[in-house]
Amino acid sequence: MKGSGEIYVVHRLLDEQICDSEGKRVGRVDDIELRGDPPRITALLVGEGLYPRRLPRHLARLARRIGGPELWGGNALRIPWEEVDELAATVKLRKKAEDLGLGMGDDPKRWIVRRLPWN
Amino acid sequence: MKAIFKIALGIIAAIGGFLDIGDLVFDTQAGALFRYDLLWAVVLGTIGIAVYAEMTGRVAAVSGRPVFDVIRMRLGFGMGLVALVASTIVNLLTVAAELGGIAIVLELLFDAPYSMFVFAAAVALVAIVALLPFGGIERFFGYGGLALFVVVATAFHQEPNWGDVAAGFVPSLSSSSLYLYFVVGVFAAALMPYEVHFYSSGAIEEGWTEENLKENRLNAIVGYGIGGILSVALVVVSGYLFHPLGVEPNDLGTVALPMQGAFGETGLLLALGGMLFCVGGAAIDSSFAASYNLAQFLGWEWGRYQGPRKAPRFTASWLVFLLLGIAIAESGINPVEITEYSVVFSVVALPLTYLPVLLIAGDRSFMSGHANGPFATVLGWLYFAIIIVLAVAAIPLLLATNAGGG
């Protein structure tokens, strides 16, 4: 990753917009994976499946019931920390969205998007 | 020279686009009920939107962050979601009110049923958005809205007692809950959140950078400042004509009467035409604002500049919001009533979207040298205090006055 120094993880990294190498918007940092002692950031987590984690407990249970479980590869995606190129106004990634399985919601090949009238 | 011309055109579009159905309804009723006594509240609200818009425009230009990016970053997911839900409800009510307003004006101009015009208006808006580039859309409605300067002309034509008018600019409070309700209403109508949501996303649609900061300041201060003159004129002409008669204008046709009185058929057509353009522009702004907020909060691709193929969810959500707006406008509730609720609820939701912007605008780590200076800081926090007071008072006053019905 380019640059060095300290960042406030919750203030500047969590909830930040993620863009792929071509500048395409592909979601936000919905959660951050920390491993080890002392904890190090190992991955960024993205997806609607992670929203219940961010809600207070009772709402979380309701949200989980409505939205379903976390489906890794589906509504929850893991971006290894090594894929992050730069932290600027957005989190810039090294690769294109398709290579990381991101941006599927706006992907013209997804079935619902294909059915939209202008596609 | 070309740059100055372009900036001037932008300011002119901002002037023409300043009013929406909330201003038309509340300013006219305020004038009818209290003559010139609420002019100070109009000015207070106008300065408020100038302050708020300048901040959000600056944040967008310098950091690339539109309002709901700021909200998600500063409030986090949970509180941000509260802000999103509140803003979406308010924006939807606004879309419905503006669509209803378009339909009412069309009904006055042509002879066909309201419900048909609501649908036709939405179709026309989709066509305009599909055919024109982003800047063209704003200019189209902004220039058309300039027809409302017939209201300013009417105010001079009426020759009111200018001493009385001037007295209205001095703030005064009354224990009358109806008066206080209109203080809130007139202020809130000037400071509708969707305008700022749209303005900040629009800055990014147009690719604004730090070079556009002067333009941002001119748009906000000169554009909205002169736009405020239109609001003032509405109160004055309505106060002059309706207050002595004890008439409370309850529909948009009445709003145009002073202009007809002063300039006959021409005045009426200019007034109705101007109303059509400013309410039409507001329908687009508020529906886009709803989609911008949703897409930005969730991290989707967004923007008119992307087009429907690159930002399909954003585009689809815009159409859904328009459909919901049509449904509410066609539900049989009087659009003027929908307007009152949209304006009052928007001031209740305003603190949630105002505070994060104020905080980020003053945060040097986000704003790299363009953070709020002392003047902007004082003004920004002063208005936050005002907004909090009005947000707390809004719903009790709405209930106490039966939505201004007394």
Tell me if B188 is assigned to some domain. yes
Tell me if B281 is assigned to some domain. yes
Domain that holds residue B47: 20-400
The predicted-structure confidence for B184-217, as pLDDT tens digits, reads as follows: 999 999 999 999 999 999 999 999 999 999 999 9
B286, B94 Cβ separation under 8 angstroms: yes
In chain B, residues 65-124 whose CB comes closer than 8 Å to chain A: 65, 69, 72-73, 76-78, 80-81
Contact between chains at B64 and A105 (C-beta distance less than 8 A): no
Chain A residues in contact with B76 by the CB 8 A cut-off are 14-15, 54
Q: Distance from first CA to last CA of chain A, Å, rounded?
A: 37
Tell me if B309 is assigned to some domain. yes
If DSSP codes are grouped into helix, strand and coil, which group holds residue B220?
Answer: helix
Chain B residue with CA closest to A13: the answer is: B73
**Angle, vertex CA B309, rays to CA B93 and CA B61, nearest 5:** 65
The two tokens of residue B224 are 């909205």
Other CB atoms within a 10 A radius of the CB of residue A2 amount to 9
Chain A residue with CA closest to B81: the answer is: A55
Segment holding B388, helix H or strand E: helix B374-400
If DSSP codes are grouped into helix, strand and coil, which group holds residue A75?
Answer: coil
If DSSP codes are grouped into helix, strand and coil, which group holds residue A87?
Answer: strand
Q: Distance from first CA to last CA of chain B, Å, rounded?
A: 54
Chain B residues in contact with A105 by the CB 8 A cut-off are 300, 313
Tell me if B406 is assigned to some domain. no
Which of the four pLDDT bands, split at 50, 70 and 90, describes residue A114? Answer: low
Tell me if B194 is assigned to some domain. yes
Please report, for chain A, the start and end positions of each structural domain, with discontinuous segments joined by +: 9-114
The predicted complex's ipTM stands at: 0.92
B74, A8 Cβ separation under 8 angstroms: no
Tell me if B182 is assigned to some domain. yes
Tell me if B292 is assigned to some domain. yes
B274, B108 Cβ separation under 8 angstroms: no
- Looking up residue B103, the CATH number of its domain turns out to be 1.20.1740.10
Segment holding B204, helix H or strand E: helix B193-205
Residue B304, chain A, CB below 8 Å: the answer is no
Quote the pTM value. Answer: 0.94
B31, B234 Cβ separation under 8 angstroms: yes
Architecture of domain A9-114: Roll (2.30)
pLDDT (0 to 100) of residue A108: 66
The predicted-structure confidence for B305-340, as pLDDT tens digits, reads as follows: 998 889 999 999 999 999 999 999 999 899 999 999
Of A46, A54, A116, the CB nearest to B77: A54
Count structural domains, chain B.
Answer: 1
The predicted-structure confidence for A7-28, as pLDDT tens digits, reads as follows: 888 888 999 999 999 999 999 9
